[in-house]
Every structure is written in structure tokens, then in C-alpha cells.
Structure 1
Amino acid sequence: MMPFLARVLSQPRYPTYYRDMSAVNRGGAPLIGPTLPRLSRLGPDEVAQMMDEGAAVVDVRVGRDYDGGHIPGSYSVGIDGPVSAWVGWLIARGRPLILAGGTDAQHAEAHRQLLRIGFDTIAGALDGEHEWVAGHVPGAIHIYVPDVPHRASEIPHDAPVAVHCASGYRAGIAASLLEQAGLKRIIHVNGEYSDWDRLHLAQSSLSP
């Protein structure tokens, strides 16, 4: 009896979602059919708004990629480990979830794992915005280059506007489109975003 009690008392902690799994198991998980439900594709602006409203972003890339740049406030739960266990432990059941980073196949695997533990409030996945996930200037407005002529009115015309992308190439195209739209004080960040990021971090480290 004593060895049994010792084993019971020495059990490791278990994820918090275990508490309500008995009810989920008794009731049965929702039937999803032979294929997974299709995830909605979300743009950066939609994700930002949903985060403001309480949604949690789960970045499924491996840790070293997450460390290279990620959405502020997101959770790093790599697909190379038990996604469902850690999401179930850290994020309350019922909270809207957004998958970010990684590939469509990785999003599908994370989706499958989460459905198995009854986490069915997945609002969607960030729509291929790998550069945006990897890093962007705080407060930046994300606009696809082809959309610049139609969304130029969203950008202040009376203030300096810096335009950047991951490499600098598309930023140059966007800068020319903004000029055509009537903006005058345009700064083309002609280099990789990582260059700006390193300079920004260096400046921040000198701030009081």
C-alpha cells in the first residue's frame, strides 16, 4: 500500500485542461467529418483587432524561429512538441485562438491536436504573413503592395512616412506608389528589416 501511495503522491503536475476533460469525454467531442474544418485566413489588421478583444495568438514555429521575431503578446508553442498539452495548460478553454507562423500543414496539425482536447474556438490562421510575424516596426500599418493605391488615404499625408519590407525591394515599389498618391515626406527604408531592428534595439538599449 505504501509504495502505491508514494507513487500517487509523487505524480508530476498535470495540465489544467485535464480538469474538464472528463466532461468532454463523456459528452463526446464534436464530429468533424473526414477532413478538418477549413481555417479562416486572417490578415494582420484582423489579428490585431482580435487580440485587442482578447484572442490568443499561438505561434507554432520552432523556438529558434520564434526568437528571431514574432507578434508581441503571442504564445510560442512549437509544432515540434505537444501543442495541445501546452495550449490546454496555458490558455483558458473557450478563449478565441489564432494560429500563426509555420506552414498550412503545421497549422492543420495544431488544429487537429486542439480539436482532440475540445479546443474548438480557433478563429483562424494568420494568412501567410511570414514577414509580419517575423518582425515589424511597432505601430506599423501592414499593406500589400498591390493595395497601396487603394489604401493610401489611411496614411497621414502631413507626416514623414517610412516604408519597409523584409528586403527593401517591395518597399521601393510601395514608396513610388505613395508618391503617386500625393504623399511628399516618404522615407524608403532601403535594406533588410533586420538592419532596422538591430539599430532600433541598439538605440533602445541607450534609453534611460
Structure 2
Amino acid sequence: MATIITIETPTLGDRSYVVHDGAVAFVVDPQRDIDRVTAILDEAGVTLKAVFETHIHNDYVTGGYALAHATGADYYVNAQDEVSFERTPIVDNQVVEISPTMSVRAIATPGHTYTHLSYALFDPTADDDDARGQAVFSGGSLLFGATGRPDLLGAEHTHELVKHQYNSAHRLASELPDGTEIMPTHGFGSFCSATQTEGDESTIGREKRVNPVLTKDEAEWIEEILAGLDVYPAYYAHMAPSNSAGPGEPDLTEPTRADKDEIRARLEQGEWVVDLRNRVAYAAGHVPGSFNFGIDGQIATYIGWMIPWGTPLTLLGESREQVAEAQRELVRIGIDHIAASATGGPAEWTDSPATLQRADFGDLSQVRHHREVQILDVRRAPEYAEAHIDGAVNIPLHDLITRIDEAPQGELWVHCLSGYRSSIATSILAAAGRTVVAVDDKFENAEKSGLPLVSGK
């Protein structure tokens, strides 16, 4: 039986896969930083024969082209995809023999994109169908209790794609044995998932019992999916063009070092300076005008969503390792060039550190009895609609840069679901000269603290 090694990218909610039999291997949907893949290949002592793409990705820059080029492996991309690089075209039902005991069958599963493929791994030497099938790499098609979203190619295609997605899920369920393991690329916090995924592993048989796409009738499922679609990150618009062009291997060498004067000059020129430390450290002291995108959260998602694309970016971190981690996160979404970096702390970055006030919902409840304050809720619109503090204004974090003038005047208390997004928001508002307090607390504590909620349920 083949060995399947999962490579997690939790900050983007994605997985890549290395599959080998002890001698040769194939890879499915590798991320941009291919050194994670080559390290696994080297450790296992196997030769890479093939790289498979399930689709032209919308949420990250692929490492497939660079990996195939570096190793000499065949690069399988749907023959119908319009790309500007040489690839090995593959079509529905085509079988690729990786080794005598590992074959891969392409299965057309449109829905997430028109040309989406899933890949079924099977052992052609096995005695019966149940033993022959091992796994299906389902990309953005069938996920754990969910499916990939059908709206990333634009509203004009959504209704057609959602019908394709329903039919594709049913095709996988009907053609593959119940014991087939499902190995999706998306669905672990990725905005490519149409709904919240469930669990960390699954099989075709389990999905037949629990996945709404396989338990509800088509009209009901489609209505629910379309009603539940939410926004997705703005940087997605740049991913498909990059992936269609055949992106090369990223340069992860350390950015040039910036001193206090250079950091100040870059801020004065309107560039972004991002503090990677956690929100507690940032609040205690930071470079005035810098933004706090902590490395402990979905840094690439939110920087990519909010930064005007192409804006020079300087990273401030506690260590070179912290900067390197952020750089790796950012190249995955095509932010390849970091203008500069600095390590240490505020004393090394500025002569006049600023601070940021932090509080919890209990503090907010108390202060409202003594003076007038404004509340800004930076969660996404569906979160706000489900339940929010009475009187709170909603500007989703991803809209804050362009809608900052809509933020209420006066003393502004900013909250989200758990504190990560509110720290980003307060840093942006503080840089704009606003009086802000970062509510670093779980939203579930708001009502417990005596703050009245308005529910949309």
C-alpha cells in the first residue's frame, strides 16, 4: 500500500500530498515553497515521477511548475486549461501508471472551476475493487462535510458551477468504493470552502452519510450553498493569472536590513511596515504608523486581502526566524519581494515607541456606564448579522482600509471574534490618528459581561 504524507498549510487552510511506494513518488497540489516537498522526498529516498494539479488555484501560487522543473517530473495539468507553459496534458478517465502498484486516474469534477480534476489512487494488482482503491485527491471538489465554493470565477458563472459541483460530488460517490480516503486540498479554514468543513479525515462512505451535497436533493442543496456564500480575499484575483503563467521557485533569502531612519522614511513614503509580534507585545510598544499582523494568525490571508497590491512591505520581527516565517507565508500568495526587515524590538526600530490600550468585554461594559464610547465590530458581515453588541457599527476588517472614514468618531473600542483581527484594525486606526482601544477577548464573553446583544436568528 502506498504511503501518503500530508503537508499542512494551516494559515491558508490547505493541504498538499506526497505519495510514494518506497521507490517512486507523485505529488498533488504542492504549495509555492517546494523545499517542504523536496525534504520529504529526500528523507524517504524516493524519485519524483509526477506532479498533479487538481485545478488552477485561486487561493495560492502553486509550486507545481517549479517542482516539476527542478526534479524532471511530469507536470500534469488539465488539457483544457489555458496555460502559457509546457505541461503534460491530462483528460478525464486518463490513467497514469506511477509504479506497478500505484496508478492514478483523472476524474473530471467541475464545480470549483470548470476544468477541475480529482485523482483516484489505486493499486492495479489488487484482487478486488475494495482493495484496489486507496484514496481520491479531491482538490476543491468533495471536502469533509462540504464542497469547494463555486463562485470564484465570477457571479456570471456561479449558478452553472454550483450545479456542476453537485454532480461532481455524486460522481465521486458513485464511482469510488466506500473505503476510499478523501484527500482534499481545501477545507481547513480556507476561503475556498463553500461551508465549514467537518473533521480531519473522511472516506467516501462517511461522506455519503454526512455531507449535505450527498444527503439533500439538488435544489435544496444549491439554494443553501448560494445563500451562504460569503466574501473571499481580494488577493485571489492575482492567483489564477500567476498560476497560468507557470510561477518559478521563490527566493527566500533574507531581506535587506533596515535601521530606524529607513523604517521612518518608508512609513513617510506611504509604504507598509508590518509588526509580526503578537498583539500583546505590539500593544506594549511599537513603531508609530506600523500595522500589527501577528505571525500567530492568518497573516498571509489578511495582508494579501488588505494591502494595495504592489505596495512595498517591510517586516519587523523579534527574530530572523520570525521574519523568515512571514516571508515564507507571503510568497505562497505571490508577495515575492520584501523591501526590508528589522529584528529585535521597538527600541531598535524607533526613538519614540507608541503604545496601544488593550481591554476585555468586561472593561467595555463598565466604561459604558461612565462615558460615551463607540464600538466597532470588524468581523465579517454574516458574523455581525448572527449576533452583535447593540449599537456596534460593523466595518469588516477587509474593508477597513477603504472605509476608514466611516468609522465612528470619538473613543473607539474595536472587537472581533477573539482579538486577532481587532489588533490589526486598531493598529490601522491608530496610524490614522484615531483614539482606539483593542478589545482582546472572545466574543462569547460579551453577553456574559452584561453587554446587550442583537441577534439576527
Fold conserved between structures, TM > 0.5: yes
1:40 to 244, 256, 263: 256
Task: Give the Cα–Cα distance (whole angstroms) in 2 for the partners of residues 24 and 95 of structure 1.
Answer: 18
* Match in the other structure for 1:182: none
Corresponding residue for 2:332?
Answer: 116
Once the two structures are superposed, residues 93-141 of structure 1 have per-residue CA deviations (whole angstroms, 9 ceiling, x without a partner) of 2100000132111100100111110112310102535424487268xxx
Consecutive unaligned residues of structure 1, counting only runs of 5 or more, are: 139-208
The reply to whether residue 3 of structure 1 matches residue 221 of structure 2 is yes
Question: Residue type of the partner of 1:49?
Answer: A
- For the 8 Å contact 2:286–2:346, the answer to whether it is kept is no
Mapped contact 1:101–1:133 kept (Cα < 8 A): no
Size of the aligned set, in residue pairs, is: 136
1:42-191 aligned at under 5 Å gives the runs: 42-133=258-349, 136=352
Q: Which amino acid aligns with 2:274?
A: V
Question: For 1:98, what is the secondary structure of its paired residue?
Answer: strand
Q: Deviations over 1:65-107 (max 9, x none)?
A: 1111111221111111111001001112210000013211110
Deviation at 1:11, TM superposition (A): 2.2
CA displacement 1:18-74 (0-9 Å, x = unmatched): 1221112212334236xx122101101011111212210111100111111111221
Matched, 1:18 2:269: no
Aligned 8 A contact 2:267 2:273 in 1 = yes
Matched-pair contact (CA < 8 Å) for 1:60–1:100: yes
Structure 1 residues 129 and 78 mapped into 2: Cα distance closer, same or farther (>3 Å)?
Answer: closer
- For 2:335, give the aligned amino acid: F
Aligned ranges for residues 188-203 of structure 1 at < 5 Å?
A: none
Question: In the aligned structure 1, how far is the partner of 2:338 from the partner of 2:260?
Answer: 16
Is the Cα–Cα contact under 8 Å of residues 317 and 343 in structure 2 kept in the other structure?
Answer: no
The 3-state SS of whatever aligns with 2:310 is: coil
CA distance 1:29–1:68, change in 2 (3 Å): farther
Change in CA separation of 1:105 and 1:137 when aligned onto 2, cut-off 3 Å: closer
Q: Percent identical across equivalent pairs?
A: 35
* Aligned partner of residue 42 in structure 1, secondary structure: coil
Q: Which residue type is aligned with residue 222 of structure 2? A: F
More strand by share: 2
CA contact (8 A) 1:69 1:135 kept: no
Counterpart CA distance in 2 for 1:108 and 1:28 is 24
SS in structure 1 at match of 2:318: coil
> How has the CA–CA distance of structure 1 residues 20 and 137 changed in structure 2, closer, same or farther, with 3 Å as cutoff?
closer
Taking only aligned residues, the RMSD between alpha carbons, in angstroms, comes to 2.1
Q: Taking CA–CA contacts closer than 8 Å with sequence separation of 6 or more, which of the two structures ends up with the larger relative contact order?
A: 1
Distance in 1 (alpha carbons) for counterparts of 2:318 and 2:229: 34
- Alignment deviations for residues 133-192 of structure 1 (CA, whole Å, 9 cap, x no partner): 487268xxxxxxxxxxxxxxxxxxxxxxxxxxxxxxxxxxxxxxxxxxxxxxxxxxxxxx
Q: Which runs of 5+ in 2 are unaligned?
A: 1-218, 355-457
Judging changes above 3 Å, is the alpha-carbon distance between structure 1 residues 10 and 97 closer, same or farther for their aligned structure 2 residues? same
Equivalent residues of 1:69, 1:133 under 8 A apart: no
- CA gap of 1:15–1:137, structure 2 versus 1, over 3 A, is closer
Match of residue 178 from structure 1: none
CA contact (8 A) 1:101 1:130 kept: no
